[in-house]
Amino acid sequence: MKDPRAAIRAKAMALGFDAIGFARAELGADTGLRLRKFLSNGYHGEMSWLAERTYERSEPKNLWSEARSVISLGLTYCPDQNPLTNSESRSIGNISVYARNRDYHQYFKGLLKHLAQCVVSEIGCDVKVFVDTAPVMEKPLAEKSGLGWIGKHTNLVSRRHGSWLFLGEIYVNVRIEEELPHPNLCGTCSRCLDICPTHAFPAAYQLDATRCISYLTIEHRGSIPINMRENIGNRIYGCDDCLAACPWNRFARDLTPHPQLQARSDLKAPNLGFLASLGEGGFRQFFSGSPIKRIGWTRFLRNVLIAIGNSQDVNLVNCITPYLNHDDAVIAETSAWAEKRLAS
C-alpha cells in the first residue's frame, strides 16, 4: 500500500488542524505501570473514572482490539497574552485559558469526523474517533506520534505550539508507518515545577492531582482544604501556571487561529463581585455552552468565594453576606472563611 501519510497530513492541515502524527497502536508496559502507580498513590483523588477503566486506558488495543495505528491530532488554543498576568489582579476571577470560550470537544470532534471520512476514503479502513471522552492515553500517544514530548509538568510540550494543544485521536485498523517519537527537550529546566502554587508535583513527571488547583476547583466536590485556599489565589476554574511557565511557549503563535477557541472578552478578567451575584439561573445563562457550566453553580460559587477571601478587597464583603447562612454547608463555611479573611 502506498504511504498515505502525506495525503492525510495535507487534508488535516486543510481542515484546520495544527499538528498531526502517526504511531502504532501500542504504548508498552511502562505507560501502564506509571498509570497504576499514579492510581495506587491515590493521586487521582475523586476521579474514579480513571481507576474504573485502567485496562482499556493502558493500551489502545484493549479499548478496540482491531486498532493497529493511531493518528494523533492537535489544535492550538494559544492565548493572546500570558495568563500569569491575571493572577496579579486580585479582584478578578482567573479562568483557565481553555475554558474562556465554548467547550472545545464538539468543535474538535467535528473536525476529526471530517478527517476520519477522508482516511477511510484514502486507505479503506475502519476508524474510531476520540476527544477526551474515552479511556485513551492522549499524551503518551501524541508523544509517540511525534507531536511533542511529555514535560516535567506531565503535559505535552510542542516545539511549535508550546503547552497549548488540545489533543484528539483517530484509531484505524490498518497499519500506517509510524513517526519517530519526539525527544524530550526539557533539559535541566524546572520552571513548571517551581511555579506551582500548591506544590502538586512530588517529583518531575509526577502529578498529585489532589493538590492541583485544576483538580480542586473543577473535580473536587466538597470543601476545599483550608491549607490550600490561600495559594489558590483568584483562580476560580482551573490553573495555567505550569503551562504558562514553560519557556517553549515563546515559539507558540501569538493567538490561536480558531475563533471557537479564542477567549470571550467577558471571560478574560471577570469581576468577582459580578460572578458572586449571578445566582444559579444567571450562572447557567452566562456560562451557556461553556465547560464551566458542568461543575454547577454551587461548586463554582465555592471557588468565587475563596477568590474573594483572597482578594484583600474589603469592598467585596457585601458579596459574601448573602451566603453566610446558605443551606449548603460548604457554601456557608466558605463564606465565613472568606469574610474572616477580609476582616483580617
Residues serving a catalytic function are 132
The rounded distance, in Å, linking the Cα atoms of 316 and 306 is 12
As given in the structure block, the three cell numbers for residue 266 are 467577558
The answer to whether 167 and 72 are in contact (CB under 8 A) is: yes
| φ and ψ of 168, to 5 deg | -150, 165
DSSP per residue over 177-202, as a string?
PPPPPPPP--TT--HHHHH-TT---S
Locate all alpha helices (DSSP H) within the chain, ordered by sequence: 5-15, 29-40, 48-52, 54-58, 60-63, 104-123, 138-144, 191-195, 213-214, 226-232, 241-244, 265-268, 272-276, 279-286, 296-309, 317-320, 329-343
